[in-house]
Amino acid sequence: MIPDAIHGILGLARRAGALISGTETVLNHIRNKRALLVIIADDASENTKKTIINKCGYYDVMLIERYTADELNKAVGKSGHKVFAVTNRSFAETIINRIEKTD
């Protein structure tokens, strides 16, 4: 379950245009060094996970893999997406800090 604080930040980031979704779109943002934080659903396919994990490792992008696709989609108000990227430094740092506080 996504904590309320992170849930709210993800929705706000989407409305602000600082959250993109979809595997190919996220991969393009990683390659172009515009993705600062990538969030992948823990129920994404193994092939998708492998591709995203490898790209994030190569381009040194922080990766979070801890919520289901349903939880992520509900938080951002979309459906059918399993990969998201945050493109704004403030949103990325806030999400990372909030996740660290919940651990």
Structure confidence at residue 21 (pLDDT): 96
Which phi and psi angles does 19 have, rounded to 5°?
A: -130, 125
56-102 pLDDT, tens per residue? Answer: 999 999 999 999 999 999 999 989 999 999 999 999 999 999 988 88
Domains of the chain: residue spans and CATH: 4-102 (3.30.1330.30)
DSSP state of 17: T
Structure confidence at residue 103 (pLDDT): 73
Length, in residues, of the chain: 103
pTM: 0.95
11-44 pLDDT, tens per residue? Answer: 999 999 999 999 999 999 999 999 999 999 999 9
Instruction: Quote the CA–CA distance of 15 and 88 in Å, as a whole number.
Output: 12
Query: Sign of the CA dihedral 92, 62, 7, 14?
Result: positive
First-residue to last-residue Cα distance in the chain: 13
Structure confidence at residue 1 (pLDDT): 82
